[in-house]
Amino acid sequence: MYKTDAGSITVDAANIDVKATLECGQLFRFEKADDIYTVKSGEHTAKVYTKGNYVTIETTSVNYFVSFFNLDRDVNRTKRELSRFPELQKALDSCGALRILHQPLFETLISFIISANNNIPRIKSIINRLCAMFDDVFPTPEQLASLAVRQLDAIGCGYRSQYIYDTARICAETDILNRVRGARTTDAEKLLRSLPGVGPKVADCVMLFALGRLEIFPVDTWILRTLRQGMETEMQLRTRLMSRYGDYAGYAQQYIFYYNAILREKA
């Protein structure tokens, strides 16, 4: 499915749809110029581009990005499993091999707190300004907790500033991140939701995009507006769709969201 060399990873283009993977709303630290994506995660950077039948990932952090892009997962098998559901067929046909990323836990947590009631360009700008304060590296809990709330206000975090500061301080002073990593999904959700600024949707995104809990189906405003039946609550809708798609619920959510909320909106 892929091969590695010093400084690069080569992937068959049939095994990764770069645009869908990076622009489906799961990642905020990337920029695109001349069909080349610059992807940043933690202290790591990669240049990602498609040429012919291959995708090249240029990076000095080869092993990191093999894990980050989940390159050992057969996502085409996942698509075949999801093809059993007729309501997903147009999305599956329109998207290539979208991959759910394996992102750092704390970075994902803070990024999705920032994402609450926000739009993607603004989320990206805030995160870029935050990282610029630490030499273009996403801060550790200890580094982020060392900032003053007014410094977070100054980079545009708004009402989220106090949440970000308080969550960073808790993560720096306790073992909650390790407990989240080792917990069962239901317990991980409770731990995450105990943190300031973390509601159901943020917790679900963290579990899906950082912990790899693929049975999770995050419900945001768009999903609720378009997929609810009758007077379903967010949790009732989430339960129904997780039951329907089972171990592939996270992938189903990403295909539905990317195809309908992003591709069709831009068409």
Residue 222 has pLDDT above 90, yes or no: no
- Annotation marks residue 201 as catalytic: yes
**Chain segment 146-175, per-residue pLDDT in tens:** 999 999 999 999 999 999 999 999 999 999
Which two tokens mark 214? 């693929």
Residue 24 confidence (pLDDT): 92
Between CA 41 and CA 176 the distance in angstroms is: 21
Between CA 204 and CA 254 the distance in angstroms is: 13
Which two tokens mark 138? 């996403």
Burial class (CB in 10 A: 0-12, 13-18, 19+), 127: buried
Cα angle 108, 194, 199 (rounded to 5 degrees) comes to: 60
Residue 265 confidence (pLDDT): 64
Tokens 């159901």 locate to 200
Which two tokens mark 124? 């990206």
Residue 17 confidence (pLDDT): 95
How big is the chain by its Cα radius of gyration, in Å?
18
The count of other CB atoms within 10 Å of the CB of residue 66 is: 18
Can you tell me whether residue 212 is helix, strand or coil? coil
C-alpha 104: how far from its chain's center?
Answer: 10
Residue 55 near residue 48, CB atoms below 8 Å: yes
Residue 189 near residue 224, CB atoms below 8 Å: no
**Chain segment 86-135, per-residue pLDDT in tens:** 999 999 998 899 999 999 999 999 999 999 989 999 999 999 999 999 99
261: confidence class by pLDDT, cuts 50, 70, 90:
confident
Which among 34, 37, 41 is positioned nearest to 19, based on CA atoms?
A: 37
Residue 260 confidence (pLDDT): 85
**Chain segment 19-76, per-residue pLDDT in tens:** 999 999 999 999 999 999 999 999 999 999 999 999 999 999 999 999 999 999 999 9
Residues 198-216: what's their mean pLDDT?
97
Close Cβ partners of 252 (under 8 Å, ≥ 6 residues apart): 82, 85, 88, 217, 241, 244, 245
Between CA 8 and CA 162 the distance in angstroms is: 40
Sheet holding 54-58, edge to edge: 2-5, 8-12, 54-58, 44-51, 36-41, 30-33
Residue 264 confidence (pLDDT): 67
Residue 97 confidence (pLDDT): 95
Torsional class of 14: left (φ above 0), alpha (ψ -120 to 50), beta (otherwise): alpha
Residue 241 confidence (pLDDT): 97
Residues 176-197: what's their mean pLDDT?
98
C-alpha 57: how far from its chain's center?
Answer: 19
Residue 266 has pLDDT above 70, yes or no: no
144: confidence class by pLDDT, cuts 50, 70, 90:
very high
The catalytic position among 19, 40, 124, 201 is 201
Between CA 227 and CA 205 the distance in angstroms is: 18
**Chain segment 228-246, per-residue pLDDT in tens:** 999 999 999 999 999 999 9
